[in-house]
Amino acid sequence: MAIALTLHILAAVIWVGGMFFAWMILRPVAVELLEPPQRLTLWYRLFQRFFPWVWATIIVLLGSGLWMLFAVYGGMGGAGWHIHLMLLTGIAMIAIFLHLWFAPYPRLGRAIAGQDWPAGGKQLGQIRRMIGINLILGLITVAIASGGRFIS
Ligand code: HEM
């Protein structure tokens, strides 16, 4: 349980922390300093590095989370409300990332390859909104996961 919980929390820190830095810190500075061609290319390169880590955190969160749920709590019946809610918000976050990965992300790559900056800007806008929603869901999930077990 100690190993599963530690891996679980590290995965949450990497995913949510990465989204926080991207959305709250890097995004306004990139808008301020860079023209669309440089800005779109910067973000696409950043996503090429960050998204494989997101895939890894999703596998670790699901693996460690479901293991704890079934091996430690004996399934949904033995788990507190905070774990039920975490499962729901966790699945929502994963679904949003899957849509992002298969839809606007490859479209952004194609727009950059074709130097179609208006189309690229539209795709980056969609990605920004999805990361914004996942950041809010992620912060709420961490709050539920850590504080929820003390509220019966
Ligand atoms: C997707 C399915 C998920 C499942 C099945 C799951 C399951 C669990 C379980 C069983 C625990 C132990 C809770 C306890 O002992 O009270 C836990 C803890 C935790 N989970 Fe999840 N989780 C999932 C997703 C997530 C996500 C997406 C995040 C964050 C974005 C997250 C963040 C945490 C944190 C921070 C803790 C530690 C709470 C603490 O010990 O204070 N989990 N999770």
Which tens digits make up the pLDDT trace of 36-53? 999 999 999 999 999 999
Is residue 68 lining ligand 1, measured as CB closer than 6 Å?
Answer: yes
Is residue 87 lining ligand 1, measured as CB closer than 6 Å?
Answer: yes
Is residue 86 lining ligand 1, measured as CB closer than 6 Å?
Answer: yes
- pLDDT band for position 133 (50/70/90)? very high
SS3 114: coil
* pLDDT > 90? residue 151: no
pLDDT at residue 152, rounded to an integer: 76
pTM beyond 0.85, yes or no: yes
Residue 4 C-alpha to ligand 1 middle, in angstroms? Answer: 10
DSSP state of 69: I
pLDDT at residue 11, rounded to an integer: 98
Residue 113 C-alpha to ligand 1 middle, in angstroms? Answer: 39
CA distance 133 to 135: 5
- pLDDT band for position 128 (50/70/90)? very high
**Can you tell me the mean pLDDT for 116-120?**
98
